[in-house]
A and B are shown apart, each in its own frame.
Chain A
Amino acid sequence: MKYIDEFRNSDTANALSRQIHELSSELPGQITIMEVCGTHTMAIAKFAIRSLLPEKIRLVSGPGCPVCVTPAGYIDAAIELAGDGKTIVTFADMINVPGTSSSLSKTRSSGAKVETCYSPEAAVETALKNPGTEIVFLAVGFETTIGPVTSIVARASAEKIRNVSILTSFKLIPPAMEALSSDKELKIDSFLCPAHVSAIIGAKAYEPYVEKYQKPCVIAGFEPLDILSGIKMILQQIIKGEARVENNYSRVVKYEGNQRAVSFIYKYLECSDACWRGLGMIPASGLSLKKEYHGFDAEKRFGIRISNRAENKGCRCGDVLKGKIIPSQCPLFAKTCTPEKPAGPCMVSSEGTCSAYYKYMR
């Protein structure tokens, strides 16, 4: 397939691996690189990237899967709305995420209406076809997904469609990176920055952050050569004692990002604090609907509250999402927690770290 196969060439992967091994001899000691994005986590596992790296390079996974970082209280609120006769429309990954005591798929089996979709546009279509029913879309996602989801509000407000709303739990990546960097317990030397989040926010979005924390940030695509050459760039920076933003995915990411998408997003949404499963409350790390669009905000419209209740006992997703442990160090991993019967969100989503380890690295 064009623009995919070329970035999977095994000769080049071996050549890059060799260069990385050579460079690593110049490293002062072991270094830890966090891949923030779940799609990187999945690709690293799928293409066995770790086997091409020297021991001195430690790759840890971060909180980059929107499903995994959605708090249990949010799922509880969605279940409450479904139980109350609203039709829930959502990306499929969300329906198996455990809330405090149930999940949307269990609620669906007991008769509630929960529909899954590929594109958020489906929510508006469902609303038009069912004028007497309240449709609620589960608005989770990072910068990449926020624009498509916000289009529900744009269209509903333009066409005066009154029976559709969104339950927001949008999250922003740079503030999460900042929270992880200021955590003294985590020793992250550098970040491999997400490909498609960066397509929206641009390479420039990481600059203030690099300035403050002096950790190299390299934006990389999701193919094996993208990841390996991204790691090589990180090593080169560390060896030279530099900390810069480098864009290794210039075939998609521009320095200034997709400004059209960004201005669309900020027409409807504004910055707010957000609760991340496993990481807790991070200031200014979310987006919520502006006051003039509160009519489309399911939380406001139906007067429900998303609580920050305790998470499932035994599940160590919090530590997995911070890169403190690898999934196999969780006592439930592959025992009581499997993709068929997930105990925590990291096992649910195809981009979840536990699910990637379960599928490729057991």
Chain B
Amino acid sequence: MSNWAAGAQSGNSRSANRSDAPAALLAAFISVVAIAYVMQHGILGGVGIAMAFTGFIAFGEMFRIQLPNERVAAPVASAFAVAYALVIQFGSSSQDYGVAQAVVVAAAGACIGAVSSALLGQFRQGAGPTLQVEEIVRRILTTFAVAAVFRPVAAFMLHRGYVVYGQAGQETQHGLLLALVMLVAAVLGTMADVILVGLARSTRQNAPLDRTLKDEFRESLPIGVPTTSSAVLMALAAPWMSWWALVIFAMPVLLSQFAFSRYARVVSTNESTIRALARVTELGGYTELQHADRVADLSRQVGLQLGLSSKQQLALERAALMHDIGQLSLAEAIPGGRPAPGSPFIPGGATILLELEQQHDLAKKGAAVIRDTKFLDDVADIVERQVDPYRPRGGSLDPTLPLASRIIKVANAYDDLVGGSLEADRRLQAVARLREGAGHEYDPAVVDVLARISQPRLS
């Protein structure tokens, strides 16, 4: 399990369920209607074919990929679900079923896959992971969208003779037109899925909707392209190649399944490397235990709510984890103390105890270390400017000051003041202090979000 997912669970799991409820209800309603319809009218186009697709979807569902920023994808499952919504001819057997049957197959496949992977997980790890109902809901609604767009249009076109499927020895008339309709339906369905996920994420993370959707579209493209291509190709080739179409045209999506799971693993290893190495300052006695982790968690939550893109979010988290790296240049750790008489004691390593000039110096040295990597320049820029005031007294806003730096500045100051403490009093005091500085030292928008996040939750 990656860090992102872990962080998300610690955050707002209760509101997550609430925000997904309408979609889940809709999916449940559609499934029930579809099942009732299919029960009444029977399965068309061959039970074997329907069952095979169900099996492939279930199989794909068992290999979900956990991508950065709480994204989950099951390319193989979605490709087969969409393909079943698009098939109108399978070898010599005509697939003249309606939207309902496509939905039933997708729902059955998704449920079987989810349940078996949950059972397998329980069997392997002893503890049962959650069913991830959200993924089942996604599969059902996407399939419904694709089938609802495509199947009536295709039925009409076939009926009116706009498209004639070539039997043995004949060529298909207007195959390109059919392919185009399939593509449009598949793209629309995938877009519906993206919007659905974006909506859920925006509510869950309190992130602005437009930014979330834009981000979601950009991030879904690389995985959406192979999935959609595979689905359309399978449906297109099914009349001639029947089962072979499923074997051969699944290749693009299998390739992307392989590539993305590898990518997810590398990113997650990378993240754990940075997380682990950020601890060298703790090990060296420079900073308090868990400080970097906590600042990163806070920054992540604030960043999400302020609508940072996935890429910016990744840079922000990395910068937050490594923000104290500059302290390695110190001969002795910063001693603990009280920032003002009467305020609570702050343990050693807190940069807010230092003179501003010294803070700038440490930020610069930290940035130099990170810039040395040559791959993390964006992270270095953020770390370098983590001390800069939001609006110096008598000065004006600096448009080049990254939002991520402003977030880390606030999160770091907050954690320096509160530490791992869970006392409500101490949190309130810290927020009050940040509010005093809001507008000149700290970005007021960031302070607002942080104040909201840090509110002691009523349980």
Q: Please indicate whether A and B come from the same complex rather than being unrelated chains.
A: no
Report B's interface with A, CB cutoff 8 A.
Answer: none
Report A's interface with B, CB cutoff 8 A.
Answer: none
